[in-house]
Amino acid sequence: MNLCLTVPLSFAVVVALAGPVQAQARFDGSYHSVDSKSSWSNGKFPKDFDGTITVRFEKGKLIYHSINVHNPSAGLDYAAPLDGMAVPMLNNARFNQVAVKRIGSRELEILEMKDGDVLVGAYWIFAPDAKSFVRRGIAKGDDGKSYEFDETFARK
């Protein structure tokens, strides 16, 4: 192959591969729950919910940390590839696996599982200005019944 073509072609491939990762990085940051724009279909949205989710996109992974000020034991921590592959989630009684899949430039699918059984299936949609995101999905409660949730988080 001609060297004059190889260098520009190699650069184009690197830029094409790095583009989605750099685009996702603009969503890095902490987001706080907006109760007035959040609901659960079972009517049990916690009145004391005070959640913060911190995300970072790094090396093709989502680095996730969440905490509820009023219920610190409900927090989650994990690092998962953006390809939908299930990975272990450690130190959590409710979930022991998570799978994260990038499905669009501003969208993620997140499955939280216990031994392969999906307990939470969520779709995240980040706002174009990266100032907020909506998390929508279906979850199975501790009572074994499923409910829909629609939660909004705004950048801190």
Distance CA 155, CA 134 (A): 11
Q: Give the pLDDT band (50/70/90) at residue 11.
A: very low
Q: Are 48 and 16 in contact (CB under 8 A)?
A: no
Q: Is the pLDDT of residue 123 over 90?
A: yes
> Chain centroid to CA 13: how far?
27
Q: What is the pLDDT of residues 129-146, one digit of tens each?
A: 999 999 999 999 888 999
Distance CA 14, CA 67 (A): 36
Q: What is the pLDDT of residues 51-64, one digit of tens each?
A: 999 999 999 999 99
Q: What pLDDT is stored for residue 47 in this prediction?
A: 83
Q: What pLDDT is stored for residue 46 in this prediction?
A: 84
Distance CA 112, CA 54 (A): 17
> Chain centroid to CA 66: how far?
10
Residue that wins the pLDDT comparison between 146 and 9: 146
Mean pLDDT of 23-34: 92
Q: Is the pLDDT of residue 23 over 80?
A: no
Domains of the chain in start order, with CATH, are: 3-155 (2.40.128.20)
Query: Could you tell me the pTM of the whole model?
Result: 0.83
Q: Is the pLDDT of residue 91 over 50?
A: yes
